[in-house]
Structure 1
Amino acid sequence: MNLENKTIWITGASSGIGKGLALELSKYPCNLILSSRRKEVLEEVKLLCSNQERIAILPLDLTDFENLKPIAEKAVSCFGKVDILINNGGVSQRSLVIDTDISIDKKLMEIDYLGTIGLSKAILKHFVENKSGHFVTVSSLMGKFSSPYRSGYCGAKHALHGFFDALRMEHEKDHIKVTMICPGFVNTDVAKNALTGDGSKQDSQDKATENGLTVEEFSKRVIKAIQKEKFEAYIGKKEVLGVYLKRFFPKLLHKFVMKSQVR
C-alpha cells in the first residue's frame, strides 16, 4: 500500500504508541486525524509532527461506544475521506484474577473491545461505500496467549481477534483490509497506566516494559506492516516466540511463562 494522500485516523494518539505513530506517519505525504480524550495533549503532539497543515484533531471517548457515529462523520469531514483507521486506544491491567473486581473486567472490555468495535462499526459503511478501507487494530501478544496479572486485558484482546477475523471475511468482497498488530514489550507508560484490581493505576514501570522496543522502532515496523497489508504482525523481541509456542507447544509455553516472573 502506498500511503501517499491517504487519510489515516489514529486513536490513543496522545501518548505512547499512538503518539509514536503520529510522529512517524507525519513524515509521509498523508493526512492524519489524531484522537484521544485529551484535546490539549493532542495539540501538543501535533506541534511535534511534520506537515502540521495535514493534521486534524478530533477528541473522542471510547467508553461512549454507543455514540461514535457522529464522531466518524466528523472524521470523514476533516479531509473528505478516511482510508485507514488505526485502533490504538486502550488500557492495560496488572492484577490477579482473585483480586480484580468484576467492574474492572467490565471497564477493560468497554475500552479495549467495545470502544474499538464501536468506532470500527461507525466507519465501516464509509469504507463499504468507497469499496476500500483498512482497519489496523493494535492488539497485543496477549491477544494470542496469556500471562498472569492480565486476565481481563487478555480477554479483551483475544476478543478483538475473533471480531476482526470475522469482519475481514465478511468484507473481503468490499476490498476492506484488516491488520492485527500484536506488540510485545514497548517502552511506553502502558504499565504505569495499567489498572489494578480496584481500578487505580499501577503507577510504576516494570523492567520488561522498560527494556522493550523503543516507540520509534516499533512505529516504523507497524508502518511497514500496514504497507504490506499483513493479516497479523508480531512486533517485539524474543517474547514474540510465545505465539508459536502457544500454537505448537502450549504446555511448554505455560512452563516458560510461569518461570519468567513477568509482572
Structure 2
Amino acid sequence: MDKNQPENLQKTFVITGAAEGLGWAITLCLAKKYRAEFVLVDISTEKLRQREAQLRALDVRVRIYTVDLSNYLAVEELVESLRNEYSRVDLLVNNAGITHRSLSSQTSSTVIRKVMVVNYHAPVELTQGLFAGLKAASGCVVNISSMAGWMPVLGRAGYCAAKSALHQYFEVFREEVRNDGVSVLMVYPSFLATAIEQNALAGDGGQARHQRSTVGAVRSPEWMANQILTSLEKGRERWFPKDISLIGAYLYRLAPTTFLKQLRRRFRMELGTTP
C-alpha cells in the first residue's frame, strides 16, 4: 500500500460499518496515511453525512452509501453501484457487524438469521461481487472477525457461528485467489469498546439490556485500527490479540472441559446462575 501513489492511480477504499466505532477509526487511520477515495457504507444516513463532512474538511475524497447489510437486495444494489463506479478496489474492509446477548434456547430464528447475514453473508457477497475490482488492483480484503470464531462465548451462539463461518470461508478463499494477487487479512479482536455491544440484540430482537461479560482487555477502536494498519503494511494474513483471550483459545483446544468450566463461571450473570 503505497501512500505516494500518483493521482491518476488514486486508490479506492471501501469500508462497511464506517460511520462510527472501529469502522470510523480505520477510516481516519487510513486517511492520515493514504491518498484514496473512501467509500463509506453504513446503515445511518445522518452519521454518514457527518463523516463525509469531516473527511471533506480534511481534503479527502469520499462517497457515502446508506445500506442495511441484513437486506440481501440492498447488498446486491450496492455491489452493482460500486462495480459501475469503480474499476478497481484496492481495499475492502468488511467491518460492519452485529451481535446478540441471549441464550441460544431463548433466541429467535430471526435474530440468528440477521446475525449470520450481517457478519457472514454480507462480507462474502461484497467480496464476490467486487472481486474483479480487487483483482485489477491486486487489492486486499480485511475481515473483522472475532476470537468468538475460535472459541465458544456463552450467550453468543449465533455470533460465534457467524464468525466461525467467516473464518473458514476466507481461509479457503485466500488460498484460492493467492495467484490472482488478492490478499486477505483476517482480524480476530476479543472485546472492543464499540457500539456493536451497546446495540446487541436480545433473543426477541429487541435491545439486550443486561451488562455484558468480557474476556481479556477491552481495547479502544483507535488502538485496534492502528494494529490493523500495521498488519496491512507488513503484509500479514492474520492478527490475534496478545492477551488472555488467545490463551483461552489454546486452552479450549487442549483442555475444553476446563475452559468451559471457567467460562461458565465468568459468564454466570448472563446465564442467570449464581456462583
TM-score by length of 2: 0.85
Amino acid in structure 2 at the alignment position of 1:215: P
- Which secondary structure does the structure 1 equivalent of 2:187 belong to? strand
Task: Tell me if structure 2 keeps the 8 A contact 1:185–1:236.
Answer: no
Given residue 114 of structure 1, which amino acid in structure 2 is its aligned partner?
Answer: H
Residue 200 of structure 1 pairs with residue 212 of structure 2 = no
Confirm or deny that 1:16 pairs with 2:17.
no
Which residue in the other structure is 1:251 paired with? 257
Given the alignment, which residue of 99, 102, 115 partners 1:108?
Answer: 115
What is the CA–CA distance in structure 2 between the aligned matches of 1:205 and 1:24, rounded to whole Å?
30
| 1:140 shift after superposition | 0.6
Letter in structure 2 aligned against 1:93: H
Structure 1 residue 211 displacement after superposition: 6.2
CA displacement, residues 187-233 of structure 1 (integer Å, 9 cap, x when unaligned): 11222201111000115654749961111111111111222232221
Partner deviation per Cα, 1:43-88 (whole Å, 9 max, x = no partner):
2123344734322212222123355354234335656521110001
Specify whether residues 150 and 236 from structure 1 end up closer, same or farther in structure 2 by C-alpha distance, changes over 3 A only. Answer: farther
* Change in 2 beyond 3 A, CA 1:113/1:207: closer
- Please show how residues 92-241 of structure 1 align to structure 2 within 5 Å: 92-128=99-135, 130=136, 132-203=138-209, 206=212, 208=214, 212-235=218-241, 237-241=243-247
Name the SS for the 1:136 alignment partner.
strand
Paired with 1:184 and 1:219, the residues of 2 have a C-alpha distance of 14
Distance in 1 separating the partners of 2:104 and 2:70: 23
Contact 2:35 2:60 in 1 (8 A): no
C-alpha distance in 1 between matches for 2:103 and 2:3: 42
Q: Which amino acid aligns with 1:54?
A: R
Q: Is the 8 A contact 2:90 2:137 kept in 1?
A: no
Q: CA deviation at 1:259?
A: 2.5
- Residue 191 of structure 2 aligns to a residue whose secondary structure is coil
What is the number of equivalent residue pairs in this alignment?
A: 262
- Structure 2 counterpart SS, 1:35: strand
Pairwise CA RMSD: 2.5
- The residue aligned with 2:7 is none
Instruction: Please tell me the residue identity of whatever aligns with 1:253.
Output: F
Partner-residue secondary structure (3-state), 1:218: helix
Indicate if the aligned counterparts of 2:215 and 2:245 stay in contact, CA closer than 8 A: no
Aligned to 1:29: 34
AA of the residue aligned to 1:57: I
Runs of 5+ consecutive residues of structure 2 not aligned to the other structure: 5-9, 271-275
Counterpart for residue 2 of structure 1:
2
Structure with the greater alpha carbon radius of gyration: 2
Instruction: Tell me: CA distance 1:64–1:101, structure 2 relative to 1, closer, same or farther (3 Å).
Output: closer
Separation in 2, partners of 1:109, 1:186? 20
| CA offset digits 1:110-163 (Å, max 9, x no partner) | 2211112111111012223x1612110001110111111000010011000111
Unpaired runs of 5+ in structure 1? none
The answer (yes or no) to whether the contact 2:102–2:156 under 8 Å persists in 1 is yes
Report the identity percentage. 28
Asked whether the equivalents of residues 141 and 184 of structure 1 are also in contact (C-alpha less than 8 Å), the reply is yes
Change (3 A) 1:207 1:255: closer
Residues in 2 aligned to 1:3 and 1:250: alpha-carbon distance in whole angstroms: 45
